[in-house]
């Protein structure tokens, strides 16, 4: 399978994509296969000059062929891109797994999600309608929805293709142009997607890809005066820095800044369904998703039974290289492995109790055992984002305490609840501090359902029709005429 993955990426030119051209100057950065902890390729690191060239290309394309393309034709282009992505699902998934480490079936699902983003927003491109405003005799007013302009997509390393498509597809549907900055460690599928879009007819300069570290390339993008909107997913500290840079030239921002999402299990819950949702929520992509089920808030009357089940399931998970399609792959980098291990070891020393796992797994790659730990709401394990396969268990006495514990966090991305009582479920959904709530199925929904955080989890919404709003601005035209 490794040979197939290397063959799949053999045709990828490892360079920036600026105005439809491959640009490869700059120092090189090694890409590491996290399942083997071995380098398998190298890409150039860009700088401010590359960013300036990409922004200029995007600005020219905005005023050129992209602006003159009919909305229906934009939609058709996005639909063809969706179909091509599905036709090449295996090739994209192999490269994504090699670069990120996630199990192959999860990478295939991510390619499917990316294709669905293009399909969904393809259907919207020719339906971005305005409104008329009644002003009375002799006056007419109407609104139009225009593309916001040049946009930047600063993409994280945990789901490079799906996260890029999540912002890129609505931006293109709205008529914007884009500079994408993939994470420096996982750039490959962004380059492949840029090539695919060019092959299906995207004009040169509409999508540009600049490789390199966030503190150089990402910072230059956020500060560039000709970038009108920035979509960023990453840490709280970096998100605040992006927002501050954008404010210097009044660019708008969409920020998803992580989470410490609670999953509440009440005493009347379907425990089998809850266990399945928790396992999916915390161990998908080795826990490296912003909306991971990081905190299990469980009624102590059912805690023992539920914990017996999920610890048993966790111990049965098989670990391995992502290309072997295991239950659990490696963490994406040595840095992330050290972070997870450090937080777990400190939690042990603080008195948090290990129910399963709790140590690094053997092997040459960056593996950590699926871990379940009992803690308290005020401890770091329950407050800080770990971004690994670590579930923090917090026992409570009743629904009111479950809500208090759930809201006891600086984050507010998603939340979940398992209960057979609809009154309890809706009361929780109304009162929990989160941008998205799942009832009786954690991580339900899809491309159609908007997501975004409150508190330190960020601002703005992505996915669904709400995801278009960041890429559009409203122009109002008012006309006075002779009504006689």
Mean pLDDT of the chain: 97
Residue 243 CB partners (closer than 8 Å, separation 6+): 253, 255
Burial of 137 (C-beta count, 10 Å sphere; 0-12/13-18/19+): exposed
Mean pLDDT, to the nearest integer, of 2-31?
90
Name the residues annotated as catalytic.
Answer: 256, 290
Supply the pLDDT for residue 408: 98
Report yes or no: 402 and 297 within 8 Å, Cβ to Cβ: yes
Q: What pLDDT digit, counting tens, does each position of 396-429 carry?
A: 999 999 999 999 999 999 999 999 999 999 999 9
Q: What pLDDT digit, counting tens, does each position of 174-227 carry?
A: 999 999 999 999 999 999 999 999 999 999 999 999 999 999 999 999 999 999
CA separation, residue 59 to residues 64, 125, 171, 253, 331 (Å): 9, 20, 14, 18, 38
Angle between helix 89-100 and helix 188-199 axes, rounded to 10 deg: 160
Strands 28-33, 38-44: parallel, antiparallel or unpaired by DSSP?
antiparallel
Closest CA to 170 of 233, 120, 209, 115: 120
Here the tokens at position 451 are: 């997501």
Supply the pLDDT for residue 27: 76
Q: What pLDDT digit, counting tens, does each position of 456-475 carry?
A: 999 999 999 999 999 999 99
CA separation, residue 137 to residues 3, 132, 144, 477 (Å): 73, 14, 21, 16
Q: What pLDDT digit, counting tens, does each position of 105-149 carry?
A: 999 999 999 999 999 999 999 999 999 999 999 999 999 999 999
Per-residue pLDDT at 3 exceeds 80: yes
Phi/psi at 200 (5° precision)? -90, 5
Q: Which sign does the torsion angle of CA 251, 189, 333, 281 carry?
A: positive
Provide the residue count of the chain: 484
Q: Which sign does the torsion angle of CA 105, 107, 113, 116 carry?
A: negative
Q: What pLDDT digit, counting tens, does each position of 41-68 carry?
A: 999 999 999 999 999 999 999 999 899 9
H or E element at residue 39: strand 38-44
Phi/psi at 187 (5° precision)? -95, -5
Residue 275 CB partners (closer than 8 Å, separation 6+): 306, 309, 310, 313
Per-residue pLDDT at 261 exceeds 80: yes
Phi/psi at 135 (5° precision)? -120, -5
Supply the pLDDT for residue 1: 84
**Residue-wise over 160-171: b if at least 16 C-beta within 10 A, else e?**
bbbbbbbbbbbb
Say what percent of the chain tops pLDDT 70: 100
Supply the pLDDT for residue 484: 74
Q: What pLDDT digit, counting tens, does each position of 345-388 carry?
A: 999 999 999 999 999 998 899 999 999 999 999 999 999 999 99
Closest CA to 451 of 443, 442, 463, 433: 463
25 pLDDT band (50/70/90 cuts)?
A: low
Mean pLDDT, to the nearest integer, of 18-27?
85
Residue 255 CB partners (closer than 8 Å, separation 6+): 232, 233, 239, 242, 243, 453, 458, 459, 460
Supply the pLDDT for residue 26: 65
Mean pLDDT, to the nearest integer, of 255-273?
97
Per-residue pLDDT at 483 exceeds 90: no
């Amino acid at each position: 399978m490794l040979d197939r993955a290397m063959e799949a990426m053999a045709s990828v030119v490892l360079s920036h994509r600026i105005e439809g051209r491959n640009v490869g100057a700059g120092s090189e950065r090694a890409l590491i296969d996290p399942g083997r902890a071995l380098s398998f390729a190298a890409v150039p690191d860009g700088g401010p000059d590359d960013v300036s060239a990409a922004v200029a290309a995007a600005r020219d394309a905005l005023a050129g062929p992209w602006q003159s393309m009919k909305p229906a034709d934009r939609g058709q282009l996005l639909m063809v891109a969706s179909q091509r992505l599905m036709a090449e699902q295996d090739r994209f998934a192999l490269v994504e797994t090699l670069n990120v480490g996630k199990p192959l079936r999860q990478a295939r699902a991510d390619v499917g999600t990316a294709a669905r983003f293009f399909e969904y927003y393809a259907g919207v491109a020719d339906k971005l309608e305005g409104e008329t405003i009644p002003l009375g005799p002799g006056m007419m007013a109407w609104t139009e929805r225009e593309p916001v302009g040049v946009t930047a997509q600063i993409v994280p390393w945990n789901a490079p293709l799906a996260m890029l498509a999540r912002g890129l597809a609505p931006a293109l549907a709205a008529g914007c142009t884009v500079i994408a900055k993939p994470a420096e460690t996982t750039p490959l599928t962004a380059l492949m997607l840029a090539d695919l879009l060019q092959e299906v007819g995207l004009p040169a300069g509409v999508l540009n890809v600049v490789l390199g570290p966030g503190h150089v390339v990402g910072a230059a993008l956020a500060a560039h005066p000709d970038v009108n909107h920035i979509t960023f997913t990453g840490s709280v500290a970096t998100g605040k820095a992006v927002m501050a840079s954008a404010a210097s030239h009044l660019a708008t921002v969409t920020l998803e800044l992580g989470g410490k999402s609670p999953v509440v299990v009440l005493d009347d819950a379907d425990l089998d369904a809850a266990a399945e949702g928790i396992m999916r929520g915390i161990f998908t992509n080795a826990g490296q998703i912003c909306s991971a089920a990081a905190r299990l808030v469980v009624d102590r009357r059912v805690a023992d039974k539920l914990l017996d089940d999920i610890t048993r399931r966790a111990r049965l998970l098989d670990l391995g290289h992502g290309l072997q399609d295991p239950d659990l792959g490696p963490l994406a980098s040595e840095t992330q492995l050290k972070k997870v291990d450090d937080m777990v070891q400190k939690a042990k020393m603080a008195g948090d109790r290990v129910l399963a796992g709790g140590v690094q797994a053997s092997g040459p790659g960056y593996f950590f055992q699926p871990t379940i730990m009992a803690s308290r709401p005020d401890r770091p394990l329950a407050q800080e984002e770990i971004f690994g396969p670590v579930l923090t268990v917090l026992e409570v006495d009743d629904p009111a305490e479950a809500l208090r514990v759930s809201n006891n966090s600086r984050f507010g991305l998603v939340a979940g609840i398992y209960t057979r009582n609809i009154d309890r479920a809706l009361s929780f959904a109304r009162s929990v501090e989160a941008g998205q709530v799942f009832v009786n199925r954690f991580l339900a929904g899809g491309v159609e359902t908007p997501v975004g955080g409150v508190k330190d989890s960020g601002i703005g919404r992505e996915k669904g029709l709400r995801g278009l709003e960041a890429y559009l601005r409203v122009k109002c035209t008012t006309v006075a005429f002779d009504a006689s």
